[in-house]
Amino acid sequence: MDSHMDWHAARAALEWQLEMGVTEAISETPINRFEQVAPPPKAGVAPGAQEPAVPVAPAATVDPVAEAETAAKAAQDLAGLKAVMAAYPHCDLQKGARNLVFCDGVPGSRVMIVGEAPGRDEDRIGKPFVGRAGQLLDRMLAAIDLGRDREGAHSVYITNVLPWRPPQNRDPKPDEIAMMMPFLKRHIALAKPEVLVVMGNISCQALLGKRGITRLRGQWDEAEGLPAIPMFHPAYLLRNPAAKREAWADLLDLQARLTKKA
């Protein structure tokens, strides 16, 4: 401070500092604020004596996958499964999603289609495959006399690996897939399809433990004890129209399988 400052100026300067939020003055000796200061001894403890250690219980750890398995097993029907999924607290995707996208089509259909995750349109409406990719899927299914709005042997049932939209339509993370897999497995068990159509890399990773859809497509595999055929995701076909020839071959293969089992 200026040593020639008069009393009034000094008071005004001090008041200005108080208004700016200053709470302490700088002392002549530095203070190490990071230095651990011993707390004062508790009553009944002699100065310098060691206080008895208080046992601290370890923090409880939560296993999201184990909790998902427990919740999924408790679901006795599809409505119950949807309810326990909505109540599941460990998947952060639901915090940014509008709707839980559970299913569409006819439960009990011979064919169950498993997609990857909802997009913007699906999140808004609350049903899987309702955007441009969904419209293409409907045309693909209609070409072999199947549809989500049909009945009997011509109906299909549709769901996704993830029921909530990832931000900006990014790929689901491994931990997100892992915690939702018990619900998907239970979903398949309750829907009781004869055949699974596994659409896209994420679905193949989740149900088959494999990636590389261009290599996997068209080759029958097995998932959850059911015959499963990997197919291109309709969104991929919109970006790569030349792949529709392979998709048509896979649809014919699916149709032949259903006809053979009928």
Range of the domain at 206: 65-261
What's the order of all strands across the beta sheet hosting 221-223?
104-105, 156-160, 111-115, 195-199, 226-231, 221-223
Which of 167, 181, 68 has its CA nearest to residue 120? 167
Measured distance CA(163)–CA(145) in Å, rounded: 27
- At 82 the three-state DSSP class reads helix
Buried b or exposed e, range 98-116, using 16+ CB within 10 angstroms:
ebbbbbbbbeebbbbbbbb
The residue behind tokens 């996997």 is: 216
Q: What is the predicted pLDDT for the residue at 85?
A: 98
Identify whether 12 is part of a domain. Answer: no
Identify whether 142 is part of a domain. Answer: yes
Q: What is the predicted pLDDT for the residue at 62?
A: 86
**Count of domains forming the chain:** 1
Identify whether 166 is part of a domain. Answer: yes
Query: In this structure, what token pair is assigned to residue 242?
Result: 């030349």
Helix axes 78-87, 64-74, angle to 10 degrees: 150
Measured distance CA(160)–CA(183) in Å, rounded: 11
Taking only the tens place, the pLDDT of each residue in 184-225 is 999 999 999 999 999 999 999 999 999 999 999 999 999 999
CATH code, domain carrying 186: 3.40.470.10
Q: List alpha helices for 38-117, DSSP H.
A: 64-74, 78-87, 93-96
The residue behind tokens 């769901």 is: 159
Question: Which has more pLDDT, 171 or 40?
Answer: 171
Identify whether 90 is part of a domain. Answer: yes
1: pLDDT strictly greater than 60: no
Q: Looking at mean pLDDT, say which of 8-12, 21-25, 45-49, 228-232 comes out highest.
A: 228-232
Taking only the tens place, the pLDDT of each residue in 103-116 is 999 999 999 999 99
26: pLDDT strictly greater than 90: no
Please give the mean pLDDT across all residues of the chain: 89
Identify whether 10 is part of a domain. Answer: no
> In this prediction, what percent of the chain has a pLDDT beyond 90?
75
Of 15-24, 45-54, 173-182, 204-213, least confident by mean pLDDT is: 45-54
Buried b or exposed e, range 14-43, using 16+ CB within 10 angstroms:
eeeeeeeeeeeeeeeeeeeeeeeeeeeeee
Q: What is the largest CA-CA distance in the chain?
A: 105
Identify whether 103 is part of a domain. Answer: yes
Question: Which has more pLDDT, 50 or 64?
Answer: 64
Mean pLDDT score, 51-74: 82
Identify whether 18 is part of a domain. Answer: no
CB 64 within 8 A of CB 94: no
Identify whether 45 is part of a domain. Answer: no
Count of beta carbons in the 10 Å neighbourhood of residue 154: 18
